[in-house]
Amino acid sequence: MKKALLLLLVFCTGFQFISAQKTVYSVFSPSRNIQFRIGINKGGTPYYKVTFMGANMVDWSRLGLVTKEQNLQTGFKLIGVKPESHDETWKTVWGEVDRIRDHYNGMVYSLKNENGKKLNIHVRVYDDGVGFRYEFPDADGMPTLTVLDEITEYQMTGDHTAWWIPGDYDSNEHVYSTTKVSRIDAAWYNREHAIATQHIIDYKLVQTPITMKTEKGYHITLAEAGLTDFSALHLRVDTAALRFSASLIPSADPNVKSINQLPFNTPWRAILLSKDAAGILKSRLILNLNEPCKLQGDLSWIKPQKYVGVWWEMHVGLATWDLEASQDMMAATGRKSATHHGANTENVKRYIDFASKYGFDGVLVEGWNVGWKDWFGKWKDEVFDFAKPYPDFDIDVLSKYAQEKGVRIIAHHETSAAVPSYERQMQTAYDFMHKYGQNSVKTGYVGKIIPRGEWHDGQWMVKHYVRVAEATAKNKIMLDAHEPVRPSGLQRTFPNWLACEAARGQEFNAWSTGNPPEHECILPFTRILGGPMDYTPGIFETRMSAYDKSKKEIVHTTVAKQLALYVTLYSPLQMAADLPENYEKRLDVFQFIRDVPVDWDDTKIINASVGDYITTARRQKGTNNWFLGSITDENARNFTIKLDFLKAGRTYSAKIYEDGKDAHWEKNPYPVAIRKIMVKKGDVLNLKLAAGGGCAISMIAL
């Protein structure tokens, strides 16, 4: 009791009258760089405000929910304030760093409405940002909450530069726009047709995480954490008032956003704050706000991994997923020949040989099971059978072959968004995987969701993705989900969930206008803040005309940048996405992809500017070896990098893979110059990045 009182004095400034309407409590972060203030106005509506290093970052903004059952916007009375503070360091199962400090001051701000319904606003203030969420501590008199809207507002204090993608109920696979907040308008996105299923109905909606830069150079990211049983958080922008407000994805009933059983808490609303862009990449706020690992016992079955796969050949049009394409399918995809089935036994053996020879852990095989004939654009239930291989995919032979070669086949479960069908088959499918020695699965949700009317990012689907994470964990299977809701840090809770797509991946370079050179310089500041992405880097043949002369599509980077992405785009699951024959032509360059690890003890952000460039150095798990990746957008850049992160007294053998002479993402993507030098702590490297280029360095401690 005494302790609680003391904490109250330390962390809360107590009653102050900021304005006539507001009675305000405040919490400072441990180093006092961030102040969070909360109060209720005369009408009983809760408001909050956030300052960072003395600057007003979120001005007084409303809090609350609109529900069918109760008024949870006005008429609140404060019934208690419980301060709290926490300082603990936890160990990651895998990650960018080995240990993470979870250090915050916080409070539970307890309110009661006119009907006596209790609502807690739980606040945590870290040195790298703020998290708050709504908690309903008891079910008394109201066991179910039907959320019609969330009120949470974010009042910006300037017309910041924002990096955003449009609010879309079904897809996150958009190119980013960079505009002032006052200029956000997503109208043009409805003219893009490369995304299989998209649903953009409000041009003032954006997705989270969204990152902004203030005039002073401060950075602010609005995100969410711990999304397990709610619909995903979009934001509606009022371009005149420079204010964002929560906008939840509806359910099949357009008025209902979420239905929850009480007691219940919403996901965390996270606000990342930093004086520069690098600070946003260093933030561990989203992970810290998530629940600790729920998986019990020995977790050594969870392994970060590198893989190759029967995959890119389908995307570049050399092979098909289906054994025999239907006429409809051919018309829909513009495909001319009925089949050249990629997942045939001989071809898969070729990939297993390649993986084994060059030290890859897994071989993803897409198109191995029946159902592909009729999967696309039909909105049809019962499409795929996840325990029935095509007749030319000899699973007995291939499983044995893979085992002999020390490689695992990665299963592919494309559900075509027929979700109940997948849920019915899940256990059978995982038993089938075990029978054949498989312990990783890539899922996919291309198409409109069944049950009809639900959306990819709505509550019903959010719960499904979590059910799959739980079911795969129970079956000791690692998970990579494509087309799910964008992640919110749940990899801390379910570390078997290695990666997600949930953004515009490399595949768009194969068959659309592609990903502009700045794309990979934005992803880490937005989508990847929520969790690792299966981006599938490593394309060496960047021009699709190599496969079909009439094709104009290209990868919008140099080859050296493709290497650097293994370091700058963090993921414990990384594909070497190109065809084996393209790697075998350039084994010297391929060596970096073979060497680069996928699990790290430490990470340093050397320099960063959103949408412009990122240089990251990481220390390989359990070693003193460092790997560095540096990438740029469409502008060529020179960097001087001081190797002050290396261990003193050690010599490192460094191999530098940089853009070769006259390299340019569009005009001359191929040249990579490789040089070997010895380096030590404090040495300085001059890196020259071509337009759309990059540099990758391995530094092995001798």
Contacting positions for ligand NOJ (CB under 6 A): 311, 366, 414, 444, 446, 482, 501, 507
CB 15 within 8 A of CB 39: no
Helices 395-404 and 345-358 meet at what angle, rounded to 10? Answer: 10
Q: With respect to ligand NOJ, which residue has the nearer C-beta, 172 or 274?
A: 172
CB 543 within 8 A of CB 583: no
What lies within 8 Å, CB to CB, of 352 at 6+ separation is: 363, 398, 401, 402, 405, 407, 409
Q: With respect to Ca ion, which residue has the nearer C-beta, 482 or 492?
A: 482
- Residue 153: name its binding partner from Ca ion, ligand NOJ, none (Cβ under 5 to 8 Å by kind): none
Q: With respect to ligand NOJ, which residue has the nearer C-beta, 170 or 366?
A: 366
**Where are the strands (E) in 239-387, listed by range?**
243-248, 258-261, 264-265, 268-274, 305-310, 362-365
Smallest gap from residue 386 Cβ to ligand NOJ (A): 13
Spell out the SS3 assignment of 43-65.
CCCEEEEEEECCEEEEEEEECCE
Q: With respect to Ca ion, which residue has the nearer C-beta, 157 or 512?
A: 512
Sign of torsion, CA 121 124 125 131?
negative
Q: With respect to ligand NOJ, which residue has the nearer C-beta, 128 or 414?
A: 414
Smallest gap from residue 366 Cβ to ligand NOJ (A): 5
Contact map string, positions 478 to 517, toward Ca ion, x by CB under 5 A = ----x-----------------------------------
Smallest gap from residue 456 Cβ to ligand NOJ (A): 12
Sign of torsion, CA 318 324 329 331?
positive
- Residue 578: name its binding partner from ligand NOJ, Ca ion, none (Cβ under 5 to 8 Å by kind): none
Identity of the amino acid at 602: D
Smallest gap from residue 446 Cβ to ligand NOJ (A): 5
Pull the structure tokens for residue 36: 């969070």
* CA–CA distance, 324 with 141 (Å, rounded to integer): 58
Q: How far is CA 489 from the centre of its chain?
A: 8
Q: With respect to Ca ion, which residue has the nearer C-beta, 110 or 440?
A: 440
* CA–CA distance, 13 with 35 (Å, rounded to integer): 11
- Residue 659: name its binding partner from ligand NOJ, Ca ion, none (Cβ under 5 to 8 Å by kind): none
- Residue 338: name its binding partner from ligand NOJ, Ca ion, none (Cβ under 5 to 8 Å by kind): none
Q: With respect to Ca ion, which residue has the nearer C-beta, 55 or 196?
A: 196
Cis amide bond preceding 420, omega within 30: no
Smallest gap from residue 353 Cβ to ligand NOJ (A): 22
Smallest gap from residue 377 Cβ to Ca ion (A): 15
Smallest gap from residue 442 Cβ to ligand NOJ (A): 7
Phi-psi region of 353 (alpha: psi -120 to 50; beta: other; left: phi over 0): alpha
Smallest gap from residue 200 Cβ to ligand NOJ (A): 19
- Residue 652: name its binding partner from ligand NOJ, Ca ion, none (Cβ under 5 to 8 Å by kind): none
Smallest gap from residue 386 Cβ to Ca ion (A): 19
Radius of gyration of the chain, Cα coordinates, nearest whole angstrom: 25
Smallest gap from residue 168 Cβ to ligand NOJ (A): 16
* CA–CA distance, 427 with 157 (Å, rounded to integer): 51
507 as an active site residue: the answer is yes
Q: With respect to Ca ion, which residue has the nearer C-beta, 271 or 500?
A: 500
DSSP-derived pairing of the beta strands 305-310 and 268-274: unpaired
DSSP string, 433-457: HHHTT--EEEEE--SS-BSTT--TT
Q: Which residues are bridge partners to 235 per DSSP?
A: 206, 246
Q: With respect to Ca ion, which residue has the nearer C-beta, 315 or 482?
A: 482
Pull the structure tokens for residue 607: 């320099």
DSSP string, 367-409: S-BTTGGG-SS---SS---TT-B-TTS-HHHHHHHHHHTT-EE
- Residue 169: name its binding partner from Ca ion, ligand NOJ, none (Cβ under 5 to 8 Å by kind): none
DSSP-derived pairing of the beta strands 22-28 and 16-19: antiparallel
- Residue 393: name its binding partner from ligand NOJ, Ca ion, none (Cβ under 5 to 8 Å by kind): none
- Residue 414: name its binding partner from ligand NOJ, Ca ion, none (Cβ under 5 to 8 Å by kind): ligand NOJ
- DSSP structure class, residue 291: P
- Which one from 507, 520, 553, 658 is the annotated catalytic residue? 507
* CA–CA distance, 203 with 168 (Å, rounded to integer): 10
CB neighbour burial string for 235-256, b if at least 16 within 10 angstroms, e if fewer: bbbbeeebbbbbbbbbbeeeeb
**Where are the strands (E) in 204-361, listed by range?**
205-207, 210-213, 219-225, 233-238, 243-248, 258-261, 264-265, 268-274, 305-310
How many other CB atoms sit within 10 Å of the CB of residue 216?
10
Identity of the amino acid at 608: A
- Residue 149: name its binding partner from ligand NOJ, Ca ion, none (Cβ under 5 to 8 Å by kind): none
Smallest gap from residue 497 Cβ to ligand NOJ (A): 16
Smallest gap from residue 230 Cβ to Ca ion (A): 23
Q: Which residue stretch of 14-22, 303-311, 328-336, 474-482 sits at the interface with Ca ion (rule: CB under 5 A)?
A: 474-482
- Residue 366: name its binding partner from Ca ion, ligand NOJ, none (Cβ under 5 to 8 Å by kind): ligand NOJ
Q: With respect to Ca ion, which residue has the nearer C-beta, 257 or 482?
A: 482
Q: What angle do CA 137, 140, 144 make, to 5 degrees?
A: 80
* CA–CA distance, 499 with 536 (Å, rounded to integer): 11
Q: With respect to Ca ion, which residue has the nearer C-beta, 34 or 575?
A: 575
- Residue 108: name its binding partner from ligand NOJ, Ca ion, none (Cβ under 5 to 8 Å by kind): none
- Residue 128: name its binding partner from ligand NOJ, Ca ion, none (Cβ under 5 to 8 Å by kind): none
Q: With respect to Ca ion, which residue has the nearer C-beta, 153 or 534?
A: 534
Identity of the amino acid at 243: R
Residues that bind Ca ion in the complex, under the rule CB under 5 A: 482
Q: Which residues are the active-site residues?
A: 507
